[in-house]
Chains A and B, each alone.
Chain A
Amino acid sequence: MHHSISVYLLVAAAVIYLIRMLPMTLIRRDLKNPLIRSFLYYVPYVTLAVMTFPAILSATGSSLSAWAGFLAGVALAYVDGNLFRVAICSCGVVYLMELFFC
């Protein structure tokens, strides 16, 4: 069966929008339950941490450059926290490591 890329994109875009839209429009009041509130407060940190590590270690050409990029990112984020500077610093460290050591 032949599949059209346009239909693929339409299906994926519709699903993604619905996922984002339904809670936002259906939950129209403040949830009082402290357990749910705490859960939602912790969600982003867990999700981002899980997505970052260990995936970052296999994102580059070698695990050495990846580790260097990861540690540089953690260190700069600890003292700075600017999204762009941290991202660029990680990229730069990976590039230099691969240039000189890999």
Chain B
Amino acid sequence: MAEKKRSLYTGEENRTWFLKGMRDGIPIGMGYFAVAFALGIAARKAGMSAVQAGIMSITMLASAGQYGAITVIAGGGGYLQMAVTTLIVNLRYLLMSCALSQKVDPELGLGHRFLLSYPITDEIFGIAMTVPGRLNPFYNYGAAMVAAPGWTLGAFLGAAVGAVLPRRVENALSVALYGMFLAIIIPAARKNRIVAGIVAVSMLCSFLFTRIPLLKDISSGMQIILLTVLIAGGAAILFPIDEEGEGGDGNAS
């Protein structure tokens, strides 16, 4: 069994995928740096030190999740509230982890699975899912090796010196994260008309959720989960992917 696992990938393949992951991780790491900088400023305002902001970032590697945690710290909530809030705000990672479990070889060993779980972020998950066929875990390791330091250093510096940043620069940096999200969903929408429709419907519903009474009282973390389950679920029923659908981007429009 161990023999079989060992032969899943050759050292040469692993090296190639690791380097490719590092290369694709550079833009993510730079984007993370900018976004984490804003996060560090928020952490500082909640009474955290720069070191704490850095430790938080390297252990959690989560944008919205960390904002949620900072909010709880700032409000002096209980530990249970911290656990529930982080659970809800990060629940999408549960779905991503399910999806990623289908992208790797079923024979992949437990050690790799423990390691692969750490850098499940929107962006690293996003690029990993665009790899054709099965995922070599070293691709994610390479990306994480570049992205995690960017994320950590950004939060540390944001907490340490963020206050001196001009307001305009801070405003500009705060859209970096969304720019990265767009760079993942828009090209996929361009290639696949169903994905395009789903993206449009998602944005519209999300907008309505901020306007309609009662719905707008639902916390943003909960809104994300509700809309994800409803829209992705509806799409799965209406437009089930075909057998090769998973390599979906391969389908030439």
The residues of A with any CB-CB pair to B shorter than 8 Å are 1, 3, 5-9, 11-13, 15-17, 19-25, 27-31, 34-56, 59-61, 65-66, 69-70, 73-74, 76-78, 80-92, 94-95, 98-99
Contact = CB atoms under 8 A, between A and B. Distances in A.
Contact of A48 (B90, B113, B181): B181
Contacts of A25: 110, 113-114, 117
B91 A91 contact: no
A15 B205 CA distance: 28
A4 to B, nearest CB: 9
Nearest to B204: A53
Interface string B82-93: 110011001111
A43 B198 contact: no
Contacts, number: 308
A14 B83 CA distance: 9
Query: Contact residue range for chain B?
Result: 35 or more
A76 B180 CA distance: 11
B45 to A, nearest CB: 13
Specify the main secondary structure of chain B where it touches its partner.
Answer: helix
Contacts of A46: 198-199, 202, 227-228, 231-232, 235
A84 B31 contact: yes
Contacts of A74: 182, 186
A43 B52 CA distance: 32
B164 to A, nearest CB: 17
Nearest to B245: A41
A69 B168 CA distance: 13
A41 B99 contact: yes
